[in-house]
Amino acid sequence: MGNPVAPILANLWMEYFEAEVLRQYKNIIKVWKRNVDEIFCIFTGSQQDIEQYIRDLNSIHANMKFTYKMETDRTLAFLGIELSVRADGTLSHGIYWKSTAAGRFPNATSHHHPRLLQSKITSLKNRLHDLCDSEHLEQELDNLSKVLPKNGYHMNRRFKQLKKCGQPQGKTRPIYLPYIQGVTDKIGSLLVRKYSIPTIYQSGTKIKQLLSKPKDDLRLQKPGIYKINCSCGMYYIGQTRRTIAKRFKEHKAALKNKEIEKTAVAEHVLDSGPGHSIEDRVEVISNDPCDRSRRIREAIEIRKRKPFTFNRVGGLKLSGKWDQVIEKISLKKINNMDTDSLEYEGIQPVQQRYALESVENKLF
């Protein structure tokens, strides 16, 4: 990873691997098309034959593991394209939209140069023409005509870009300017009008870039209690004696390999259907090297957050004496919670922190 020759070596290895596969299974493979690590394959056989075929592929090399997705109702998505089988056996193709697609684009009223907003429509048009056949193109254009007004675009002005051909790009090397409404757009117009120099407008530094978190969190390199968020709003609470970062990698590996028996995270995401995914980060609730106190804290955190967790079990079985204490500790925020976002009910805000610290010191 990160090495310039890595893609070349990976492709060389895959070409060698493909030669072995196609030689051994040439009688059943009808089509084999690969793009990096995505493969489109058509072959003959039953469902049992497919499963056996995947097992055979995974047995060729210990570090090569394949997963597969079958067609549904004669339809299969591949690299952003939805392929369908016609009645005569030929293939048709259109745009594949995820079930979670919200149809949101840069709003027409946002602080961007009008040329950038128009280019967005042009790129959408080009994508439709490149990926859709004649059967799907008109339908996709109709869908786009319904989505664009929801993003602030006027049909009588910008939607006309859909039926226009792209303008040939000039040979003059463009210059890049930060977009400042009323300033750099006038400079750009002057450069084009008098000197035929095209201009490209760029967005400035965003607040998100200024407030980004450090890449490495030292707390992830220690044992402790952690939380993994799902896109559905629920989350998983866990504890580990190893580093939290290593345990999180194991959760992601189980999800990638569809090993639902290894972790409740993989089971929840895969069994809940489309629209469920985990964030590419883990939240640290607390670092603790002591196994006993970690398990107690994990059980408390799970019970506090019910019914918003998808843990298989509730962790360590606690004495009933804990119930009154846990019931009085509620979540201040369900989403994006840290270890300090707790409030002690029935106590004034000034006294709240001292009461909470007193409880936590006795518990942890």
Rounded to the nearest 5 percent, the helix, strand and coil shares of the chain are 40, 15, 40
What confidence score (pLDDT) does residue 336 get?
A: 41
Cα(288)–Cα(347) distance, integer angstroms: 29
pLDDT tens string 249-308: 999 999 989 898 899 999 998 888 777 888 788 899 999 999 988 998 898 888 888 888
- The span from the CA of 152 to the CA of 130, in Å, is 25
pLDDT in tens, 151-163: 777 765 545 555 5
Hey, which bits of the chain come out as E strands? 29-35, 38-43, 75-78, 81-85, 91-95, 175-178, 199-202, 224-229, 235-240, 283-287, 329-331, 342-344
Token pair 């079990």 in the structure block, residue: 313
pLDDT band for 358, please (50, 70, 90 cuts).
Answer: very low
Give residue-wise pLDDT tens across range 67-79.
888 887 888 888 8
pLDDT tens-digit profile of 204-222? 777 777 776 666 678 889 9
For the chain, give every domain's residue range.
Answer: 6-70, 219-363
pLDDT in tens, 128-180: 887 888 777 877 777 777 788 887 777 655 455 555 544 444 457 888 888 88
Q: How confident is the model at residue 359 (pLDDT cuts 50, 70, 90)?
A: very low
Closest CA to 268 of 308, 306, 230, 226: 230
pTM equals 0.40
Between 41 and 100, whose confidence is greater?
41
Q: How far apart are CA 129 and CA 115, in angstroms?
A: 21
State percent of the chain over pLDDT 90: 12
Report the chain's mean pLDDT, rounded to a whole number. Answer: 77
Three-state secondary-structure class, residue 202: strand
Q: Does residue 201 contact residue 115 with C-beta atoms inside 8 Å?
A: yes
Q: Is the pLDDT higher at 321 or at 59?
A: 59
How high is the pLDDT of residue 2? 61
DSSP string, 26-86: TTTEEEEEEETTEEEEEE---HHHHHHHHHHHHHH-TT--------BTTEEEETTEEEEE-
Question: What pLDDT does residue 11 have?
Answer: 82
The three-class DSSP label of residue 356 is helix
CA 265-269-273 angle, to 5 degrees, is 160
Q: What is the pLDDT of residue 42?
A: 82
- CA dist 254 and 350 (Å) reads 45
> What is the pLDDT averaged over residues 182-196?
85
- The reported pLDDT for the residue numbered 339 is 40
Instruction: From 10, 36, 32, 35, select the one nearest 23 (Cα to Cα).
Output: 32
DSSP for 276-309, please give it: --B-SS-EEEEE---HHHHHHHHHHHHHHHTTSB
Mean pLDDT, to the nearest integer, of 303-314?
A: 85
